[in-house]
Amino acid sequence: MNTEYFRLGPHVEAARAGGQPLVALETVVVSFGLPRPINLQVAHEMEDAVRAEGAVPATIGLLEGRVVIGLTPAELAEFARGENLRKVSRRDIPVALARKEKGATTVAATVWAAARAGIRVVATGGIGGVHRGAPFDVSNDLPTLATEPVLVVCAGPKAILDLRATREWLETHGIPVLGWGIETMPAFYSASSGLPVDARVDTAEEAAAIARVHWTLGGKGILVTVPPPADFALPMERLEAILEEAMAEAERAGVQGWALTPFLLSRVAERTGGESVALNRALLLENARIAARIARALEA
Ligand code: PSU
Ligand code: MN
């Protein structure tokens, strides 16, 4: 790991020395994906969920010209305040580091940084993917999964996306999609997109065994998709209506590029009276727990 541009947090340094399994967490969901003040609470709860399952959390963000692997609670609070901070995907990393800007990392930037630090497991909510319709917009989360040997635990691609196109993209680029106790890929807000996974797994050991073979044979990214907790899931039809409206609004207002995903997520949160936020929190915690179990199984 390059020490000029990377720094390990003290707890991550200790975990390394003690040979404990690590799970990387992103900061865009904290700074741009969830409303204040619940965002900071969820960030801490995710870290606690990882610890409760016997692994060590490494929340990642850019600070003072370095990629920090394992933010401290005080640093995490800065990311939750969300001031003077850039949403950093992979293409933004050199700019943010050279200018010493504070940057929250997307799934793409988090996966990339985790790989550089030798961390194999990342937990998040929904990954980015192929956006619907024109203008052409494909999240860097996808190509980064195609190039970095990291397992990402998620609730599938965000339902704001073109799910069929996203599923095809994963297949084209050789990224195995596993279903956690399910045969079809979840769609972040709902339990199923109706699109098949490549294999169903029911235990952390099964997921770890497949990942191990994948990496031994030169494979890169692999997804473990977990359906959102049933008590919180939102019905597709209701969501579709909200999304149609939000996407039309984004187009009228000229919202595009990095700002589109946060805009759509916040509209869905408003229109569901916060139900989507409760769901997002529940699935983030669930995914953090499962990621920790898989990280442990990978060490065994
Ligand atoms: N999952 C969530 N909330 C989020 C995101 C994912 O539950 O805010 C973020 C992730 O950081 C993901 C990003 O990488 O949205 C995708 O943004 P874009 O479509 O601009 O690549
Ligand atoms: Mn995009």
The 10s digit of each residue's pLDDT in 65-116 is: 999 999 999 999 999 999 999 999 999 999 999 999 999 999 999 999 999 9
Q: How far is the CA of 14 from the centre of ligand 2 (A)?
A: 36
Q: What's the predicted TM-score (pTM) here?
A: 0.97
The 10s digit of each residue's pLDDT in 272-281 is: 999 999 999 9
Residue 292 has pLDDT above 90, yes or no: yes
Report the percent of the chain where pLDDT is more than 70: 99
Q: How far is the CA of 13 from the centre of ligand 2 (A)?
A: 33
Write down the mean pLDDT value for the chain: 95
The 10s digit of each residue's pLDDT in 147-184 is: 999 999 999 998 889 999 999 999 999 999 999 999 99
Indicate the top mutation candidate among 25, 27, 29 to test ligand 1's pocket, ranked by most ligand atoms within 8 A of CB. Answer: 29
Catalytic residue of the set 26, 53, 148, 286: 26
- What is the Cα–Cα distance from 249 to 263, expressed in whole angstroms? 10
Asked if 26 is an active-site residue, the reply is yes
CA count, 13 A, side-chain hemisphere, 158: 30
| Ligand 1 proximity of 112 Cβ (cutoff 6 Å) | no
Q: Which CATH number fits domain 6-299: 3.50.50.60, 3.40.50.920, 3.40.1790.10, 3.40.50.12280?
A: 3.40.1790.10
Return the pLDDT at 134. Answer: 64
Residue 133 has pLDDT above 90, yes or no: no
Q: How far is the CA of 74 from the centre of ligand 1 (A)?
A: 23
> What's the pLDDT band for 233 if we cut at 50, 70, 90?
confident
Indicate the top mutation candidate among 25, 26, 28 to test ligand 1's pocket, ranked by most ligand atoms within 8 A of CB. Answer: 28
| Ligand 1 proximity of 106 Cβ (cutoff 6 Å) | yes
